[in-house]
Amino acid sequence: MAYIIPCLSFFLCLILTPLVRYIAIRKDWIAYPRKERWHEKPTAMTGGIAIYLSMAVPLAFTADFSTILPHIIRSPDHIRLPSIEATAGIGMTLLFILGLLDDFIHIKPHTKLVGQILVASMVTFLGFRLHWFTSLTLDTIITIIWIVGITNAFNLIDNMDGLCAGIGAIAALYLGLLFIGDFQSPGNPDGAGLVAILLAGALIAFLFYNFNPASIFMGDCGSLMIGFTLSMLTLYYSESATAGKLSSCAVPIMILMIPVLDTTMVTLIRLLSGRKASVGGKDHTSHRLVLMGFSEKGAVLSLYGIGAVSGVAALFVSRTDTLTSPAVIIPLALSILLMGIYLAQIRVYPEKEFSLLRGRPYTPVLIELTYKRQIVLVLLDFCLIAFAYYLSYRLRFDDKAFPFYFKVFLHSLPAVIACKFVAFFTMGIYRGIWQYMSTNDVFVYLKASLLATLLSVATITFIYQFEDFLKGIFVIDWLLTTALLLGTRGSFRISIDTMKRKTLSGNTVFIYGAGRGGEILLREILNNGKHKIKPVGFIDDDPLKIGKKLMGYPILGDFGEVESLFEKYRISGMLISFNSRESRNIDALKRFCRINSLFLKWFFIDLEDVDIEDTRH
């Protein structure tokens, strides 16, 4: 029976969704395209009805609603929390109704927020809390904020076909795995695993109709309910977490990483740009990935992948001790931070819409933070230095020896951080421009990392006489610090280069000449979007170059193959990248372009003298 009920939610949703879609079309419950929305065709809505019924029906037969009553009357006999199935069932019903009202009569944002706060307050009244803080007052307030925040986060990520349902299904599956012991225990009345698997089954079935191209949307009645249910499950995990305080805090955030990232980034950017956070728009994580060049499916699947990786990390953290967990939590947090920085730089709205305080546009403010003042890199390096030093100890010592050496790590960490920052500033790694990282910069980072390690060893020797320290620690630390420095800086360069390539648009062209001139021309095209040119590949007469790539673009063939290549790629023009005008193919190339109505342009770089004698002031 325990395994039949989750399957029931899957088959119920699989059957009910087309029925709800049929009724929605007949009743004109249609989401029509709007300027601030992503979809471009009328689509049936209120698919959340099918998701809700697929969960509510099984819960009606399995939930023990009698456990709610002692908490309402505050009976002194009650000790345990009420049934999570009953609490989740009541809460998701209330938010389903709230979302349904919003779908049909479009209630005001503040009214919807009040309703969410009331439901969240009910949950905390019944005894569910995050248990992140010792202060009951603070913990209660943060719990209410968490429930309301996650509920709205899933409402916000319901912006592209299959995104909200897919991310919700992934999170529910991981939560189900966390609770699998409870789910299989016949004597346990709190079926958090059951609720999680019920939700996962319903959402997987809904994806058959909601994945791109979607034939039905879930609407607010679905997204609010999903967000609330997942927030309830994370509360239950925090309540029952056995791996310690770090696990109870980190695991819920890691499992819900995508909605947390999207909501945080969108809210901050909208507030910085003077836009209302509650107003819809095309500035979400998924939209930015599409602007980078991903297809809609590609963007959604990429976020699925990030959610899955973060979920695996959460499972690891839930089953390990507090001393080991940072080895997973910190790299994931840094990766998500870097991803947020990359995506935040993509311009979504016209520059005139980014009106900040003092009339300063958003984009220059971001550049000032990440380029001129290098604040982000300094803060990032602070985390990298501490993490590399910690991971050195974690890798060097086993579980028995690590607790002793962890104290050594804590005592020496401030000195190591200070030494490394002195070395970094001395070597000038913050004077470079990370967008244009070059080979010379790599050597600077290598020297800075080596100097930082040597300075750390000298300082530790002077302060502690190297007692309780091992030389191997600093060798591992040097390797990790160097790898993290180069990796983060290189990721900036790779990310920017990838965005430039994927967002390149305009007339498709062949570049004739895959030499030095071709490389310079390609860099100019990539760095200057105003040319409106999109290279397909190179043409070159050197047979040794054919089949290879130059800066990621293929060398397709020689001039003799240009006609067949034109038939295949249907380009709009040709660019000549070499300076010599004596090529025997130039006349033939001109005839080819004239016959096929292609434009032909010649790229030159030259330095000319300027007459300064007649300069006037």
Averaged pLDDT, 35-48: 76
CA dist 437 and 450 (Å) reads 19
Quote the pTM value.
Answer: 0.76
The pair of structure tokens assigned to 471 is 């030389």
First-to-last CA distance in the chain?
A: 92
**Confidence band (pLDDT; 50, 70, 90) for 517?**
confident
CA dist 342 and 497 (Å) reads 11
383-397, 430-444, 503-517, 585-599: segment of lowest average pLDDT: 430-444
The reply to whether CATH 3.40.190.10 applies to domain 504-602 is no
**Confidence band (pLDDT; 50, 70, 90) for 475?**
very high
CB 222 within 8 A of CB 29: no
Q: What contacts 24+ positions apart, CB below 8 Å, involve 421-429?
A: 421/381, 421/382, 421/385, 422/452, 422/455, 423/448, 423/449, 423/451, 423/452, 423/455, 424/381, 424/448, 424/452, 426/451, 427/451, 429/485
If you count them, how many residues does the chain have?
617
CB 502 within 8 A of CB 526: no
**What are the tens digits of pLDDT across the range 149-195?**
999 999 989 888 899 999 999 999 999 888 875 444 443 435 888 89
Give the containing element (helix H, strand E) for 550.
strand 549-550
DSSP state of 554: E
CB 230 within 8 A of CB 84: no
**What are the tens digits of pLDDT across the range 232-288?**
999 988 877 655 678 888 899 999 999 999 998 888 887 776 666 666 677 788 888
Residue range(s) of every CATH 3.40.50.720 domain in the chain: 504-602
CA dist 238 and 213 (Å) reads 37
| Helices within 273-295 (DSSP H only) | 285-291
- 358-380 b/e with 16+ CB inside 10 Å = b? eeeebeeebeeebeeebebbeeb
For residues 420 and 530, which has the higher predicted lDDT (pLDDT)? 420
Averaged pLDDT, 7-34: 88
Percentage, residues of the chain above pLDDT 90 = 26
**What are the tens digits of pLDDT across the range 296-310?**
898 999 999 999 999
For residues 413 and 358, which has the higher predicted lDDT (pLDDT)? 413
How much is the mean pLDDT over the chain? Answer: 82
